[in-house]
Amino acid sequence: MKALLVCEYREGKLLDTSYELIALADKLGVDKAAVLIGSEEAVPKMDGTVYLADAAVCGEYNPAAHKAVILAAVAKENPDYLIFCHSSYGWDLAPRVAAALKAGQITEVVGIVDGGFEVGCCNAKMRRVVKPTSAKVVLTIQAGAFAAAPAQGAPRIEPIEVTVDGQGLTFTGYEPAEAKTIDLTRAEVIVSAGRGVGKKDNIPLIAALAKALGGELGASRPVVDAGWVEHSLQVGTTGQTVAPKLYVACGISGAIQHLAGMKKSDFVVAINKDKDAPIGEVADVLVVADVVQFAPILTAALQK
């Protein structure tokens, strides 16, 4: 059995998540080759073949060209698995490759189990096991679900050239992230507000708790989308990825994107009405309570 790993490259660099692909291939116990649309300096350190196409020619985001490069590598390697990161790059590209190969795709894999792959569903509240029935299988893997393999080895580089045609799509550039007023990645304590705080007027209750703990205020995506707090305070894959000594999740159910952004915290407290909320998966302590009632009481207890 063999896996073709689709590495990720952005703004001139290999993304570290590419090593998580190697980790999954090793866990599956299959031979591996990789494909990178990037540059020779950015080739991952691994054993085996890396098929390399030039991002200066193909573009960093050109799904039609990237699909063509991957299909050229598939023609040479005939892999059983094609593995992508479940990222803005992977979830955009993987189904295009799956369609071309008529391969079943299993999205956002978090584990390998007997007879299939484990994935989250129902907003991370539940899990499914999915079993492929096609000859080739496309997998996208959840960020952080498989600890990155060490960067070691020297690959054999094989260049791939394709005719580049955007097929109706033109990438025109990047818009940088908004400047951060507070760098949450340096905070020792983060107290984050989620949808469970109910309304904007309740945000000060969470901010007061953050202050009592000597920490910073953070937020989940719905709270930012609703305009209750500024975007720079968003924790999660599309905001900041944090690992403080203490993380307090207030009224946050624990969508996958949020969990991926905070699950490396040393100690996690969740305050949630719903005992079954997926945040319970990563919480060291789950307080079953309405955070709007509980936060002021906890703040007072801390100030004693």
Partner 1 sequence: MKILVCIKQVPDMESRFKPAADGLWFNEADLAWRINEYDEYAVEQAVKLKEQLGNEPEITVLSIGPDRVVEVLKKALAMGADRAVHVQDSAPQQKGPWQIASIIANYARDKGFDLILTGMQSQDRGSAQVGVLVAEFLGFACATTLVGFSYVDGVIHAKRELEGGLKGLVDLRLPALVTCQLGLNIPRYPTLPNIMRAKKKEIETLSVTSLLTEEPLAITTQFYAPARKEGGLVLEGDLNEMAQQLVDILQEKTSVVR
Which residues from 130-159 bind partner 1, rule CB under 8 A?
130-134, 137
What distance in Å separates the CA atoms of residue 228 and residue 231, rounded to the nearest whole number?
Answer: 9
CB-wise, 155 or 236, nearer to partner 1? 236
| Nearest Cα to Cα of residue 244 among 184, 285, 297 | 184
What distance in Å separates the CA atoms of residue 189 and residue 191, rounded to the nearest whole number?
Answer: 7
Q: Does 245 bind partner 1 (CB under 8 A)?
A: yes
Among 21, 197, 282, 292, binds partner 1 (CB under 8 A): 282
Q: Does 63 bind partner 1 (CB under 8 A)?
A: yes
Q: Does 99 bind partner 1 (CB under 8 A)?
A: yes
CB-wise, 42 or 233, nearer to partner 1? 233
Amino acid identity at 237 = T
**What is the distance, to the nearest Å, from the Cα of residue 42 to the centroid of all Cα atoms in its chain?**
21
What distance in Å separates the CA atoms of residue 243 and residue 219, rounded to the nearest whole number?
Answer: 14
Q: Does 199 bind partner 1 (CB under 8 A)?
A: no
- Whether the CA torsion 36, 40, 46, 49 is positive or negative: it is positive
Among 21, 43, 74, 98, binds partner 1 (CB under 8 A): 98
Q: What angle do CA 47, 237, 137 make, to 5 degrees?
A: 45
Q: Does 165 bind partner 1 (CB under 8 A)?
A: no
Smallest distance from the beta carbon of 138 to partner 1, in angstroms?
9
CB-wise, 25 or 282, nearer to partner 1? 282
What distance in Å separates the CA atoms of residue 131 and residue 10, rounded to the nearest whole number?
Answer: 32
Among 75, 178, 186, 199, binds partner 1 (CB under 8 A): 178
38-57 binders of partner 1 (CB under 8 A): none
Q: Does 285 bind partner 1 (CB under 8 A)?
A: yes
CB-wise, 47 or 274, nearer to partner 1? 274
252-271 binders of partner 1 (CB under 8 A): 253, 256, 266-267, 269
Among 108, 194, 223, 251, binds partner 1 (CB under 8 A): 108
The answer to whether 148 and 23 have CB atoms below 8 angstroms apart is yes
12-41 binders of partner 1 (CB under 8 A): none
Smallest distance from the beta carbon of 268 to partner 1, in angstroms?
8
Number of residues lying near partner 1 (CB under 8 A):
99
Beta strands 31-38 and 49-54 are: parallel
The answer to whether 271 and 251 have CB atoms below 8 angstroms apart is yes
What distance in Å separates the CA atoms of residue 179 and residue 225, rounded to the nearest whole number?
Answer: 17
Beta strands 104-113 and 116-121 are: antiparallel
213-242 binders of partner 1 (CB under 8 A): 213-215, 221-222, 224-225, 231-232, 234, 237-241
State both tokens at 160: 């791939």
The answer to whether 33 and 103 have CB atoms below 8 angstroms apart is no
111-130 binders of partner 1 (CB under 8 A): 115-116, 119-130
Q: What are phi and psi of 37, to 5 degrees?
A: -100, 100
Region binding partner 1 by CB under 8 A among candidate stretches 30-38, 70-78, 198-206, 275-283: 275-283
Among 26, 152, 165, 174, binds partner 1 (CB under 8 A): 174
CB-wise, 50 or 109, nearer to partner 1? 109
